Structure 1
Amino acid sequence: MANIQSQYFKDIDLDDEFFNSLKEDYSEFNSWFIKKATEVQHAFTLYEDTKLMAFLYLKIEDEVDKTIVPELEEKRRLKVGTFKIDAHGTKLGERFVKKILDVAVVKKIDEIYVTIFDKHQPLINLLKTFGFSEYGTKTTSNGKELVLLKNLFNLKNDILKDYPIVQTENKHIYGLSILPKFHTKLFSDSILKNESVDILKDTSYTNSIHKIYICAMKDVQNFHNGDILLIYRTSDGQGVARYRSVVTSICVVEEVLNINNFDTEGKFLKYCEPYSIFTVDELRSFYRRKKYPFIIKMTYNAAFKKRVTNGQLIDSFGVMPEYWGVFNVTNEQFKNIMRAGEVDESIIID
């Protein structure tokens, strides 16, 4: 399993061919990298076996930047200093966009910006999908770059552009149960440990923003775009549900479809495969047998830092449904569960 890790510059091989394109784009890249190594700075990296696949350097700034037109006024910001991925699809890009936004939330920073050459259209499109917009330009000896900026709290009433913000006004809140064998693959940074988790270090290959879950629970048909889901990991059989069934994550519903909405198997596979935990063969079987007809597409907005147990839900928050597969949660219960889970309250907007 490939993990995003925090790695010191001094421990990263500057001669790796991964950096060749960055050296071509930025004449000062070598000297910049060496300087960061001497300053004992770190970056986020991801390797497949020993091959470097992704590199992300983030920097907190609070000064005026007159090299950008129009200039950035003095304000505490998160700068995406260097960002490169080698990937065939968008999942790896999504994982690192999520990492950027996670860091901004943890560091209490509401504005993020990145400079990028316009030849990198796939990455530009991905950033725009999640709320970055064109702010201006920056011209250096290397050429002219676009400046993309995102303010977390300049809301667009769009689930993706506003990500990771969760808006509760006029939204229904549900608990959605997921079996452990599926949960681990879908929400693997929401591990089963009732202790604090460092969100900056604990992320795995399944930590993409979009998630697709396929099930047979009829009540999921009540979900609508923008509704909030508390992911409820059912007991793994290692103990009683009171302690082993836990709420681990917050998601927001994008849409719920019926398998019969897809008139061909190919369309079903194209929709589900990129963000589903199931293999192509398993998905083919689902389509042909129609045993699991409901498809939930959602965004993965936050992992709990402390897991909230079934016992807490019942004793402390009065959540006592007849059926734990899909259950209703009131706004007051939701707020209390968020506090118990130590979710950063800034991402929840009433």
Structure 2
Amino acid sequence: MHLERLRFKEINLADPFFDSLKAGYKEFPIWFAKKAEDFAYVFKNPQGTIDGFLYLKLENGPVSDTKPPLPSAHRLKVGTMKINAHGTKLGERFIKKIFDHAVFDKVEEVYVTVFSHHSPLIGLLERYGFHAAGTKESPNGTELVLVKQMKAAHADVVLDYPLIRLHDKRAYLLALHPQWHTRLLPDSILKNEDSDIVQDISHTNSIHKVYLAGMFGMEALRRGDVLLIYRTSDYQGAAHYRSVATSVCVVEEYRPIHSFETRDEFLTYCRPYSVFEEQELQRFWAERKYPHVVRFTYNLALRKRVTRKVMIEEVGLDSSARWGFMSLTHGQFVNIIRKGLTDEGLVIYQA
């Protein structure tokens, strides 16, 4: 899927994709022209025409043109979001991009206005914790105002996303070899620039992931368990410095491979979110070499890599243990994410 970050002046307003926006918002062409130097995310299909558009804007203060008004806050407004759905996961990718910006800019909430007849879009937003907070009247009609409070907890993995609920949850380290890590998570998380996390537009930058592994003990995983992703050494230097913690994820579901009755059921479950190619998945099914199938949400990238050396010498992890899949204490996990300069406001410590 070809997602680009472009200035408005680089985007073809004559593309038929924008026809419905022009019809729904009479002022849209004038607004579009005024945004010439601003950036938006654009998804183009293989034919080169547009199938998705996302514009985000930071705001400070109250929002007075809604009923009821929204109180003063540091907000991210989803100025425009439109998707032509063709069975892709583009909507979820846009949601991920919205939350990437929200986390990076440390906003208190995100809001969007949408007409009630756009029920698929409303359903998508509600799935990730947006709720109706009022209406907005304009010459174009009445729109719903949907708000996502970034630190509101719902006690649900997906509704809470990207929040991480640590209270009464177990934490584990999950090691990935570099070749799988590169496929599973955006390479930007291994760079030093914070803004790379926001600007990354790779196809791997999605909310949900499915991973297969064969490490002992993974059958203990349950919904809500927290995973610290650990990229093993690429052997370009000492493992003490080249092996690093990179990300935090939350388990949605664990399934043993034998719980799938047929190959097609297995492929249907894994294919949309897996890092593995179709032929790899078919081979895994035939060989049963990787019996553990884990689906999880990709919540946070650590802004600073935490090396194996630091985790041993400063956090107290056992250097003699097998760092494939292993349990972490509450204190060890918190210590590591603090060293990774993660926004602790996104971690719920108490009920």
TM-score over 0.5 (shorter chain): yes
2:274 aligned residue (276, 294, 299): 276
Q: State the partner residue of 1:223.
A: 221
Alignment of 1:321-336 (within 5 A): 322-336=321-335
Read off the aligned partner of 2:323 and give its amino acid letter.
W
* Residue range with higher mean Cα deviation, 270-279 or 283-292: 283-292
Q: Does 1:45 align with 2:42?
A: yes
2:183 corresponding residue in structure 1: 185
Unaligned runs of 5+ in 1: none
DSSP-derived class of the 2:194 partner: coil
* 1:172 counterpart = 2:157: no
- Which whole-Å deviations, capped at 9, do the CAs of 1:223-246 have from their partners, x for residues lacking one? 221111110111123223222211
CA distance in 2, matches of 1:74, 1:231: 37
Aligned-residue sequence identity (percent) comes to: 48
Superposition map of 1:97-246 within 5 A: 97-193=95-191, 195-198=192-195, 199-246=197-244
Does the 8 A contact of 2:223 with 2:251 survive in 1? Answer: yes
Query: 1:255 touches 1:298 (CA, 8 Å); kept in 2?
Result: yes
- Asked if structure 2 preserves the Cα contact closer than 8 Å seen for 1:189 and 1:207, the reply is no
For residues 284-343 of structure 1, the C-alpha deviation after alignment (integer angstroms, 9 at most, x for no partner) is 222232221110110000111221111221122111251111122222222221122121
Shift of 1:109: 1.3
- What is the CA distance between 1:90 and its match in structure 2? 4.8
Contact 1:215 1:295 in 2 (8 A): yes
- 3-state SS, counterpart of residue 213 of structure 1: strand
Aligned length, in residue pairs: 346
Amino acid at match of 1:42: F
Match of 1:78 in 2: 76
Is 1:184–1:191's contact at 8 Å kept on the other side of the alignment? no
Q: How far apart are residue 191 of structure 1 and its match?
A: 4.3
Can you list the C-alpha shifts for 1:170-219, whole angstroms capped at 9, x where unaligned? 111111011111111110245444x2331221241111101110011121
Aligned residue among 285, 289, 298 for 1:287:
285
Where in structure 2 are the equivalents of 1:304-343 lying within 5 Å?
304-320=302-318, 322-343=321-342
Q: CA RMSD in A?
A: 2.0
Identify which range, 97-106 or 59-68, moves more after superposition: 59-68
Q: For each residue in 1:118-169, what CA deviation from the matched residue of structure 2 results, as whole angstroms up to 9, or x when unmatched?
A: 3322222111110011222223222222221111222111111111001111
Q: How many Å apart are 1:63 and its aligned residue? A: 4.2
Change (3 A) 1:322 1:153: same
- Amino acid aligned to 1:250: V
Summarize the Cα distance change of 1:90–1:121 in structure 2 as closer, same or farther, 3 Å threshold.
Answer: farther
- Residues 315 and 64 (structure 1), Cα distance of their counterparts in 2 relative to 1, 3 Å cut: closer
Of 43-52 and 67-76, more deviation after overlay is shown by: 43-52
Question: How many Å separate the matches in 2 of 1:124 and 1:155?
Answer: 20
C-alpha distance in structure 2 between counterparts of 1:27 and 1:3, whole Å: 27
TM-score by length of 1: 0.92
Taking the aligned partners of 2:256 and 2:239, their CA distance within structure 1 comes to 30
- State the partner residue of 1:12: 11
- C-alpha distance after superposition, 1:66-86 (max 9, x if no partner): 432333233332211101233
Q: Report deviation, 1:3.
A: 4.6
Distance in 2, matches of 1:185 and 1:297, equals: 15
Whether contact under 8 Å (1:114, 1:149) holds in the other structure is: yes
CA separation of 1:51 and 1:233: change in aligned 2, threshold 3 A: farther
1: distance between equivalents of 2:52 and 2:183? Answer: 21
CA-CA distance at 1:47 after TM superposition: 4.1
Q: Which sits farther off after the overlay, 41-50 or 305-314?
A: 41-50
Local SS of the residue matching 2:148: strand
